Amino acid sequence: MSSDDSHAAHDTRAPGVDGETLRVALFSGNYNYVMDGPVRALNKLVAHLERRRHDVLVFAPTSKISYLDHAGELISLPSTAAPRRPEYRIGLGLHGEAKKRLQAFAPNLIHISAPDLGGLGALNFARKNNIPAVASFHTRFDTYPRYYGMAWAEGLLTKYMKYFYNRCVHVYPPSQSMADELLAEGIGKEMRLWTRGVDSEQFNPAKRDLAWRQSVNIADDDIAVLFVGRLVLEKGIDHFASAVTAAREHVPALRPLVVGAGPELEHFRSVSPDAVFIGHQEGDELARAYASGDVFFNPSITETFGQVTLEAMASGLPSLCANAAGSLSLVDHDTTGFIAEARVDAFTEKLIELARSRELRVRMGAAARAKALTFSWETILDDLITNYREAIAQYNGAGRNETQRQTYSAAA
């Protein structure tokens, strides 16, 4: 039993979460059909709410293929395949049987995790029925068009996101840097942090396995540069491939190790022919892959938190990440890793520096592990429950305790 799950064995209540039973309707664009960081976080949340004896009903698009045994009861929303990304689905609104189930459930809070038409339907339902709505912020969807030849659409999406999130009582970004960025752009009015936790027993340097490395053709003296995530353009796979290729001209021992699956697999293979691709990994196999790497490289600028970065840190790896919200709140530059501008030359320079010094990698990896140990799911999810209660009180005109919460407002 992991440290994150041990609480379920004895259903005690943590301070600050007692009181009226919550009835939370959670709306998501993806809850079980494609595995990613937001899906893991949302399933953790639902399981935790149920352990705390709150009622939860999840509404999301569904697919014929499910990649996990999801937490809680899931109601399917009408949806269609996303353009250019058919593995994802776009909710088409709140209609028919799903709307009837929501009405019968009678939530006292609606939590929306995606600003699609399903989320918009939930937001409109909340306003019509005098129910507080909150939203968690997982992805800068408005940056996606730049990767697919539609940069003209970015401004329109940003304008829509302002309209959507400004109608919510709270917005829950996963990092302070993301909160600051959203407030600067006028997206959302009141921010409360909902960070992420990590199972530090599962993701652990002790899982390093040299025999496994050899089995996937990574030699003991190779320096494995790890990529973990969906193989899609917006994860920065072109920058990853170009920077590692350029750095190998100076340090030939560098070897890219790619963990994940996605529609751009063949493209990634073509631009990184020397990489080891091991596909999607879960559980102990994923933990082994992390710990068996030497450097973690996350070039994405679309992350709002970077769960994969936190897992790599817990596994004792130094990180090289793009100078973007999310990574800025995880990686301490020059201490647990490096933050670099999202350019191939900047990434290459830092990869070479890490590759040339084993002492630097070891020192940064130890510091990264120490920082990761401070991210506890139990505390983080109880804090979110407290924010739920404050959103309800705030919506109903009651006061809130400013001294107990980390609040980011436009006046800050």
Q: What CATH number should be reported for the domain holding residue 316?
A: 3.40.50.2000
Same domain, 231 and 148: no
Q: Is residue 356 part of a domain?
A: yes
Q: Tens digit of pLDDT for each residue in 374-384?
A: 998 999 999 99
* Per-residue b or e along 20-49, where b marks 16 or more CB atoms closer than 10 Å to that residue's CB: eebbbbbbbbbbbbbbbbbbebbbbbbbbb
Q: Is residue 268 part of a domain?
A: yes
Q: Position of tokens 């082994």?
A: 288
Same domain, 312 and 188: no
Q: Is residue 232 part of a domain?
A: yes
Residues 6+ apart with CB under 8 A from 328: 175, 177, 339
Q: Is residue 384 part of a domain?
A: yes
Q: How far apart are CA 126 and CA 391, in angstroms?
A: 13
Same domain, 315 and 211: yes
Same domain, 246 and 356: yes
Same domain, 181 and 71: yes
* For residue 406, pLDDT beyond 60: no
**Distances from the Cα of 354 to the Cα of 158, 294, 360, angstroms:** 37, 9, 7
* For residue 12, pLDDT beyond 50: no
Q: Do the beta carbons of residue 244 and residue 351 sit within 8 Å?
A: yes
Q: Is 110 helix (H, G, I), strand (E, B) or coil?
A: strand
Same domain, 359 and 248: yes
Same domain, 386 and 349: no
**Span 218-235, mean pLDDT?**
96
* Per-residue b or e along 365-401, where b marks 16 or more CB atoms closer than 10 Å to that residue's CB: bebbbebbeebebbebbbbbbbbbbbbbebbeeeeee
Q: How many structural domains are present in the chain?
A: 2
- Radius of gyration from C-alpha coordinates of the chain: 21
Q: How far apart are CA 347 and CA 343, in angstroms?
A: 6
**Span 297-312, mean pLDDT?**
91
Q: Which pLDDT score is estimated for 145?
A: 56
Q: Is residue 1 part of a domain?
A: no
Q: Is residue 188 part of a domain?
A: yes
Same domain, 294 and 387: no
Same domain, 334 and 267: yes
Same domain, 189 and 247: no
Q: Is residue 359 part of a domain?
A: yes
Q: Tens digit of pLDDT for each residue in 334-354?
A: 999 999 999 999 999 999 999
* For residue 128, pLDDT beyond 70: yes
Q: Is 20 helix (H, G, I), strand (E, B) or coil?
A: coil
Structural domain harbouring 17: 6-197+376-409
pTM for the model:
0.74
Q: Is 322 helix (H, G, I), strand (E, B) or coil?
A: strand
**Span 175-203, mean pLDDT?**
93
Q: How far apart are CA 284 and CA 202, in angstroms?
A: 7
Same domain, 193 and 221: no
- Nearest Cα residue to 261 out of 234, 231, 241: 231
Q: Do the beta carbons of residue 259 and residue 227 sit within 8 Å?
A: yes
Cβ-based burial of 14 (10 A; exposed 0-12, middle 13-18, buried ≥19): middle
Q: Is residue 20 part of a domain?
A: yes
Same domain, 183 and 211: no
